[in-house]
Structure 1
Amino acid sequence: MYLIEFFKKSKSTLLFLFFFSILFIPILYFLVKPKSELPVYNPVDVNPRLVADEVKHISRDHRIGEFHLINQNGDTITNKDFEDKIYIADFFFTRCQTICPIMAINMSELQKHYKDDEDLKFLSHSVTPVIDSVPVLKAYALKNRAIDGKWEITTGEKPHIYELARKSYFAVLDEGDGGEQDFIHTEQFVLVDKKKQIRGFYDGTDATEIERIIKDIEILRSEEK
């Protein structure tokens, strides 16, 4: 009699555990599994102070705008040079003695990590283009071991660079239109996918953030597959 009752109870317990596992395990997996997709950032998704007024209302289909820059070799660099590429962008100036040297070291490390990866590039914008002439940028590139064609270190018209920062990359809090007194200074690294969409923002001075970039790039690759 007791034996029968025991088996009845055991059967009920086993049935409960079976159905519980069917329901709970998928939920648990969903909660703990790695991210399978990165967000796509549009102007409405970003701190409004980072975004130019003209584009704050945009909620979808944001792309990096067209650009026309000059790199460390005096070559013209445009969007076409980044066609079908994942790239990391930042804003710097060669005389910076605070965050920029750390950013340059971390960008150099990322370049080293992706040295043989033809799908990935780097784009640095000088925020003091009057000072950062092509020869100055070339010396800076050599100092930081920038690989030609891999890491484009660029200068250009200041209003154009400022517009890119505020309307395309959402990288700086400063207001203005790129006039003489305006000054961009940010530690942001911006991850851009092959569709010219922003997929991530990172502190370029933080080693843990650099590790996060590498992980997020792998997520981008999995999305492509």
Structure 2
Amino acid sequence: MNAKKTYIGIAVIVLIFGLLVIPKIIERLSNDEVVVNDRLNVAQKQTADSDQGDLAYIKINGKDRRVPSFKFVNQNQDTITDKDYRGKVFLVEFFFTRCPDICIPMNKNLVAIQQEFQGNDKFGIASITIDPENDSPEVLKEYAEHYGVDESNWNFLTGSRDSIYTLANEKFGLLAQENPNIEGGLLHSGYFALVDQNGFIRSRLDPFGNPKVYYKGSIPRDTPVVEDGDNAEIDILVDDIKLLLKKNTSYE
């Protein structure tokens, strides 16, 4: 009998708990508060604690991802290394000059971004071809001139296929591969990597508190915004470049 009373008592407590608490949980879920706000607040606190504004570091195996050393040749046949970008905020893209589709809006977007920072020697761009057999310095030079590029802080780079593909796929995590089944024969991502003055890849947080990692570069800047669609990110990238430039961080 006592055991029966005990079970009834427990059931009453559970019922009261459910009536009081579960509606609040459902309300938070319906408003995305659990999924969005809690994670975002944690991420923002971590970012604030690191004194790095609202841009996150991109981690791999628990370590902040930093651009590794590299050595390529640019459109003017000058040797360019990672040291040439020390102390600068810069963007990295992987592309190729014969690309029939996404490279066109990507590089038009980069021209627009470059114009935003015209004359700023603390900003730069590195465009690395994934088609080195075709994209010689001469071809890259012609390509840069076609887009009206200011070459003072923008290098179009070529080198050995192995080093380029290792840099793209393993070091940056940006897709680059051969694919004979598509026009152009090469497949690559349409994203830009944002790198700070110390060589670390940086990014803003998405609405869920996660780093975006890379910025969409293949969507034209003036594309109309579509709710819950694939929208341009060039304006937010410009804002984030300005944020890093304001820090004026010296190279470590």
TM-score normalised by the chain length of structure 2:
0.64
1:72: which partner in 2? 75
Alignment of 1:1-225 (within 5 A): 36-43=53-60, 58-172=61-175, 183-200=186-203, 201-206=214-219, 207=221, 208-224=232-248
Q: Which amino acid aligns with 1:77?
A: I
Percent identity, aligned pairs only, is 32
Deviation >6 Å, runs of 4+: none
Q: Which runs of 5+ in 1 are unaligned?
A: 1-29, 44-57, 176-181
State the Cα deviation string for residues 30-56 of structure 1 (Å, max 9, x = none): 98xxx932000012xxxxxxxxxxxxx
Structure with higher helix content: 1
Asked if the contact 1:42–1:60 (Cα under 8 Å) also holds between the matched residues in 2, the reply is yes
Q: Which amino acid aligns with 1:82?
A: Y
Q: Which runs of 5+ in 2 are unaligned?
A: 1-39, 42-47, 179-184, 204-213, 222-231
Q: Which amino acid aligns with 1:117?
A: N
Deviates more, 1:87-96 or 1:198-207: 198-207
Q: Which amino acid aligns with 2:78?
A: D
What is the alpha-carbon distance in structure 1 between the residues aligned to residue 54 and residue 68 of structure 2?
Answer: 23
State the Cα deviation string for residues 64-119 of structure 1 (Å, max 9, x = none): 11101110001101011101010000010001111001111001111111111111
The offset of 1:136, in angstroms, is 0.5
Q: Cα RMSD over matched residues?
A: 2.3
What is the alpha-carbon distance in structure 2 between the residues aligned to residue 83 and residue 167 of structure 1?
Answer: 21
The offset of 1:221, in angstroms, is 3.3
The offset of 1:171, in angstroms, is 1.1
Q: Which amino acid aligns with 1:203?
A: K
TM-score normalised by the chain length of structure 1:
0.71
